[in-house]
Amino acid sequence: MDIDTHAEDLASDLGVDKEEVKADLENLLEYSVPLDEATQSLRRKYGDGSSGGGGGAPKARDIADITPDDGSVTVTARVLTAGKRSIRYQGSDQEIVEGELADDTGVIDFTAWEDFGLVPGDTITAGNAGVREWDGQPELNLGESTSLSKLEETLDIPYEVGGEADLASLRTGDRAKAVEVQVLECEERTIDGRDGETTILSGVFGDESGRLPFTNWDPAPEIEAGTSVRIENAYVREFRGVPEVNVSEFSTVTALERSIDVGTDAPRLGIGEAIASGGMYDVELVGNLLAVRDGSGLIQRCPECNRVIQKGQCRTHGSVDGLDDLRVKAILDDGTGAVTVILDDELTEAVYGGDVEDAKEEARDAMDQEAVADTIRERIVGTEYRVRGHLSIDEYGANLDASHFEESDDSPADRARELLAKFDGQEVKA
């Protein structure tokens, strides 16, 4: 949906002027407020969901029964997680608390626009909590029209309190998560933040389950390469097509005595599942190599910006003296989904069996640059490969930047033999 459609939907929901809503929406997005938060802010501004429309007290609901159609509800629940975060709203910073509530029927995300002092483990009744829809799911808005009370008794729930997670299970949009990780890489960077120049840390975290990039917006002294730390109240957002752990000024960082082990294997997923995860920093996929795409083999790059150029023309820098390079873009498919695998010069040399000079010679002999891509095609198309690397999902599609690319040892023929062996075994036993 584009901004126009969002504005129209909002305006008709709230019964206000579309242009006014659109201007507000654009303003918020300009300040990098995520779309869902922007929409939610506007719903608050124009007073949605608090009056309940038909009058009378909102209904007490089991969490599992709440639907996005409920204007507002009253719920009794345990606080599973609650994490503070700062967003920019109409030009100034506002602190919000995000997390999850649960009763014995289910779990629901919430955003609190006031500080109700929610602590994980608390049993609360939230009266007149607004319901909004995000990604097809209902979420609760706790605001100034919500009455919140803490209960003495503890509600029994079949969910664990606290946001303990491992890196492989984190997804974009997760909030108030706690992880124990080893800092694998860490560098200090100066960026143009929303309040001018500011220093941040960025790098890579690892645990037994996997690796993820991180940004620490308010550099914590405990975070440096080689250390192991526990982080509470981290949130996850997408950056360059992969989930990223965000450690903010509201996160708690504690140095750990013990060292967190980092696994050497990447998690292996089905391609469909990996795509559905919204991008992964380090993943292993196995599939059949269906095709080598255009722009593979011997290519030329712009010496200024390193982008691939066609016929000596860079889109940004015009006519340039291109630098020769090798690359493969190939389609890997496992029946559940397909990704474009990108091999850098080294991996391409390995599958081609030669370097740039060999490739130039082949192209000269054939009087056709495409000859190199054709040779690579003959070698790899139709074979099953195991590929490990960095999967990004964005407007450019699903791309796997390969760090490892090898023929799958569990080839279909091997699997068939294994299956036969198993079958024979059962025959003998029977």
Nearer to Zn ion, 305 or 420 (CB): 305
Nearer to Zn ion, 90 or 313 (CB): 313
Nearer to Zn ion, 191 or 305 (CB): 305
Tell which residue, 305, 308, 296, 300, has the closest CA to residue 341: 296
Three-class SS state of 251: coil
**What single-letter amino acid sits at 301?**
R
Nearer to Zn ion, 317 or 422 (CB): 317
Smallest gap from residue 238 Cβ to Zn ion (A): 27
Nearer to Zn ion, 312 or 335 (CB): 312
Smallest gap from residue 316 Cβ to Zn ion (A): 4
Smallest gap from residue 325 Cβ to Zn ion (A): 14
Smallest gap from residue 310 Cβ to Zn ion (A): 12
Quick check: 406 and 386 in contact, CB under 8 A?
Answer: yes
Smallest gap from residue 295 Cβ to Zn ion (A): 15
- Rounded distance, CA 270 to CA 331, Å? 15
Fill in the DSSP letter of residue 64. Answer: G
DSSP 286-334: EEEEEEEPTT-EEEEE-TTT--EEBTTEETTTEE--PEEEEEEEEEEE-
Query: Going by DSSP bridges, is the β-strand pair 137-142/106-112 parallel, antiparallel, or unpaired?
Result: parallel
Smallest gap from residue 175 Cβ to Zn ion (A): 40
- Rounded distance, CA 427 to CA 421, Å? 10
Give me the residue whose beta carbon is nearest to Zn ion. 302
Nearer to Zn ion, 117 or 303 (CB): 303
Smallest gap from residue 389 Cβ to Zn ion (A): 25
Nearer to Zn ion, 107 or 308 (CB): 308
The tokens for 25 are 């929406």
Could you list the residues that contact Zn ion (CB under 5 A)? 302, 304-305, 314, 316-317
Tell which residue, 337, 329, 336, 417, has the closest CA to residue 376: 329
Phi-psi region of 117 (alpha: psi -120 to 50; beta: other; left: phi over 0): left
